[in-house]
Amino acid sequence: MTELTDLTAVRLLDGYRKGEWSPVEVTRAALERAEAIQPEVNAFVRLTAEEALERARGSEERWRRGEPRGLLDGVPVTVKDILLQRGAPTLRGSKAVDPAAGRWDEDAPSVARLREHGAVFLGKTTTPEYGWKGVTDSPLSGVTRNPWDPSRTAGGSSGGSAAAVALGAGPLSLGTDGGGSVRIPASFCGIFALKPTYGRVPLYPASAFGTLAHVGPMTRDAADAALLMDVIGHPDSRDWSALSAPAGPYTDGLTGGVHGLRVAYSPSLGGQVAVRPAVARAVRRAVERLAELGAYVTETDPDLTDPVEAFHTLWFSGAARVTQHLGPHQRELLDPGLREICARGARYSALDYLAAVDVRMDLGRRMGRFHDTYDLLVTPTLPLTAFEAGAEVPKGSGHRRWTGWTPFTYPFNMTQQPAASVPVGADADGLPIGLQLVAARHRDDLVLRAAHALYEAGAASAGRPTPSGS
């Protein structure tokens, strides 16, 4: 029998409508799963069981009357502890954040939309300090581990969210992505994640990392992500850069398939990236499936030279800004790696920053022209599978920073394009592999549609990890 914790949000809502199960029993099951996985995987900063059950009871009564509230009434969700959630401190993975110093009485825009639509908040998920790196460990909450192998990393910076979704502690989670932070852990943990077009999901307070930072859905599949985007993808007056409302529901556009779409397949960005053979094989198989489904696939590369130095200038400057207010004692509490990049970021000049912006704008122009010819770009999400937990880079890799092993993700934060990670198999150790789908700005619908086609064709899956304590 399928467990309630294995069901997608779409399936849960269908069951509520038919009276097959109730929000209270679903919430209890999700909370039990969260508590069971926490000791080994460490996905949560806090669980809010009392609040969750109270919201579930309200939802159950609304469903009983046939008057559900919004699109997600009674669906368990989790929220990365970077986003504000009313009623609890947002600690951002940092001992330097004083939980007693804030009022904590405001929701971030995406969290507010979840609340309006009746979602049930299970808790806040782990993040590295201020979301600064591509793995999830912090001085505050320790190491978050991979659901498939707890000796490996879950990835980051939205690693707690990815682990929670993969293991059934709620089918939906909100993550943030400034350089790959929903796509990296999605690839390592075998789930779906979308970094939407910048501004599609409003953000408040504004990120110190500026317009690199996006909010995105982390889910079991593309259909759940489209549903979540229909809730959170609307403007909010607190975000001056938010886009206007989308033309229509993303869920309505899922079923168009990929027939006739022009797909560019770049296995290694023109030989710039050394991709593990198992990753390359799994991604190629999925691309072949897109061709079988009617897409016109061409193996070609975008005009994209690695913008890592420009990204570092923007990213490290943002890190310096987010910690600028801290005193000497608070700085001593920071992750040593974060302290290091903050010191480097503080040394950049305004001209250095503007030179990096020039690189970014040129990259955006080149990708814009690329998408005049191709509807979608397909790459691996990452060139490797999950490595040892507690390390910023794989042992023996020679990389200094996390950007050394994420060359497929951060360029598309610079260009603000929609990009998703889709699970397309596993390596010989059973560790998930992700495929990345990228479209032109404002074409989130195409990314979701192509991902959904892969799910419908049975080409998008990493299976399910076995939860601890089960």
Given 157, 266, 317, 421, the catalytic residue = 157
Does residue 181 have an active-site annotation? Answer: yes
Residue whose entry in the numeric block shows the structure tokens 């970077």: 82
Per annotation, catalytic residue among 80, 124, 133, 195: 80
**Six-digit token pair at 214?**
């996006």
339-364 as b/e, with b when 16 or more CB fall inside 10 Å? bebbeebeebeeeebeebbebbeebb
Catalytic residue among 22, 59, 181, 317: 181
Can 133 be counted among the known catalytic residues?
no
Q: What is the DSSP string of 179-224?
A: SSTTHHHHHHHT-EEEEPPTTSS--SSPPTTGGG-EEEEEESSHHH
CA dist 175 and 177 (Å) reads 7
The residue count of the chain comes to: 470
Extract the tokens encoding 350: 């305004």
Q: How many CB atoms lie within 10 A of CB 324?
A: 11
Q: CB atoms < 10 A from the CB of 309, how many?
A: 11
Evaluate the CA torsion angle 158, 164, 165, 171 in order and state its sign.
negative
The CA-CA-CA angle for residues 273, 279, 281, to 5°, reads 110
Taking alpha carbons only, the member of 133, 127, 50, 66 closest to residue 92 is 127
Q: Identify whether 80 is a catalytic site residue.
A: yes
Enzyme catalytic residues: 80, 157, 181
